[in-house]
Amino acid sequence: MRLKHIRHVKQLAVLTVIFLWASGAWAVSKYRVLYSFQGGSDGADPSGGLTFDVAGNLYGATLAGGNQNTLCNTFSETGCGTVFKLTPGVGGWTKSLLYSFCSESNCADGDSPKGALVLDAAGALYGTTVYGGACPSYYYLCGAAFELAPDSKGGWQYTVLYAFQGGSDAINPNGGLIFDHSGNLYGTAGGFTRGCPCGTVFVLSPGSGKWTEQVLHNFCLGNCGDGADPATALVLGPGGDLYGATYYGGHFSWGCNGGCGVLFRLTGNSKGKWKENVLRTLAGADGANPVSALISDAQGNLYGTTISDGVFGQGTVFRLSPTSKGDWKYTVLHEFQTGRLGGGLFRSALVLDAKGNLYGTTWTGGTGNCNGNGCGLVYKLAPGAHDRWKYTDLYDFTGAADGGFPSSGLIIDKNGNLYGETQIGGDNENGVVYEVTP
């Protein structure tokens, strides 16, 4: 289902440099909007995340806007989505439209891109759409994986790598793709095997003139102790293992309808078979329902967020660390609360800086007022003595010209500046790309 726009009462003004209360102290962050989406053919609702190339250009996708095919106009979303490029310059950033989805009959090229794009060494972009594709079982609703490659004339060539079929292969890929060292692409999707939309992990492998798809794991085996509904991108470990999280499955407890979720690893063998190992079954008290991708550091630790439960019922930031005994240690680094302490929905994936600080966003929370709720915020967690982490609120969105509802994870440049997107706000209320300097 598409994420529905939540409109708001527009604020009168926004301060681009503000003082914020953070764990008993004040913090100063510099904030600026790099681009405000115009809606219509320009695109709207940027939501998948941003990607840098070696030249410092930013690439991303919008869930809506672009072609106004009626097949794409459900709920309050209009348009089929776009891929865009932002180029830095002396006078600011310049936006280029690279592709508008549903440019083919019945949206065979895809509809509604979601998940961060990934770049290869030649500068080609790869991603997924939740809907569209040539799908006989569910009309146009299955989704597709695509490549967008620069050509010799300065344009971009769009190619569907794989159209999901809606059966045992998967449906609705929504977390983006990652590469391995051999050029294979891995992702997560839904799936309807055994009569349940429990989800899959899949791989797309390049071949002579076409890509082939293979399902590596079907979730919800038995009583769903292995997890269900992997809604995020994967992480590739140094040995080629895949790490990820599922929103449901695992432990069924009060407050966790469908299970609290699991953290898992998939390991392949020489015969091309993959085996899942559940590293942590969430139980509610330690957090529940991870909805964002895991990240890893140089020591092999995994970091992630949950959106519910924990001490204050608002979710957690956690670390999963390998031990010398071969098992994994789970540690809660932060308990979210309300308002500026990060309470809110749909926390993004985290990003690490060179000093080991963690940064993330919450979709709601903060001091803004978007239909009676906070408009979201950007936060920082800094490691301290005895593994105590200090929380700092870096920026509270207002829902006005600065944007609102930060919808994707952050990325960081070599100078420590953070970049992200919001779904609403901006000059035309269609979302923005922004920069925060902590």
Give the start-to-end residue ranges of the domains of the chain. Answer: 1-50+293-438
Taking all residues of the chain, what is their mean pLDDT, rounded to a whole number? 87
Average pLDDT rounded to a whole number, residues 144-171: 91
Average pLDDT rounded to a whole number, residues 236-251: 91
Look up tokens 């891109």; give the residue: 113
What is the DSSP-derived secondary structure letter of residue 107? Answer: G
Instruction: Characterize the bridge pairing of strands 377-383 and 25-36.
Output: unpaired
Q: pLDDT tens-digit profile of 56-101? A: 999 999 999 999 887 776 555 689 999 999 999 998 999 999 999 9
Average pLDDT rounded to a whole number, residues 282-301: 92
Q: Is the pLDDT of residue 136 over 80?
A: no
Rounded CA separation 95/124 (Å) = 18
* Nearest CA-CA partner of 41 in 67, 22, 11: 67
| Helix residue ranges per DSSP H, 150-205 | none
pLDDT at 62: 96
Q: How much of the chain is helix, strand and coil, in % rounded to 5?
A: 5, 45, 50
pLDDT at 1: 37
pTM for this entry: 0.90
pLDDT at 350: 95
Exposure string of 47-72, with b = 16+ CB inside 10 Å and e = fewer, is bbbbbeeeeebbbbbbbbbbbebebb
